[in-house]
Amino acid sequence: EAQVTQNPRYLITVTGKKLTVTCSQNMNHEYMSWYRQDPGLGLRQIYYSMNVEVTDKGDVPEGYKVSRKEKRNFPLILESPSPNQTSLYFCASLGTLYNEQYFGPGTRLTVT
């Protein structure tokens, strides 16, 4: 089954404690992206990757890092999380044939 997986699904952590949210897709897509969703706002793009070792900033990259060492994986790293990073995070991959974006199940992060 074609899918994008994320882990963990829920995470409560404290300010300053480094964390990683993993994202993996099994569709051999080159393009992957991370979004955050906050109440009253649309999904906002954090980082995207066009291919292995090719990443670039979206609109809200501050406080986040990403890496793309393998095509299927695109982890999101928060080196020193702060309460304003409390949000719902989605990873997505984009198929080039029909240009459809596939979303993971989401990770709800709370930083206290």
Shortest separation between residue 15's beta carbon and another protein, angstroms: 27
* Of residues 13 and 101, the one with the C-beta less far from another protein: 101
For the record, the structure tokens of 13 come out as 């952590």
Please tell me whether residue 31 adopts helix, strand or coil conformation: strand
Are 74 and 107 within 8 A, CB to CB? no
Shortest separation between residue 56's beta carbon and another protein, angstroms: 7
Find the binding residues for another protein in span 5-34 (CB under 8 A). 31, 33
**Alpha-carbon dihedral sign for residues 101, 68, 70, 104:** negative
Residue 70: how many other CB atoms lie within 10 Å: 10
Site string for another protein, 34-63 (x = CB under 8 A): -x----xxxxxx--x-x-----x-xx----
Determine the Cα angle at 13 with ends 90 and 81, to 5°. 70
What is the identity of the amino acid at 2? A
Shortest separation between residue 43's beta carbon and another protein, angstroms: 4
* The one among 34, 74, 89, 90 contacting another protein by CB under 8 A: 90
**Alpha-carbon dihedral sign for residues 86, 9, 47, 75:** positive
Shortest separation between residue 79's beta carbon and another protein, angstroms: 24
Residues that bind another protein (CB under 8 A): 4, 31, 33, 35, 40-45, 48, 50, 56, 58-59, 90, 98-106
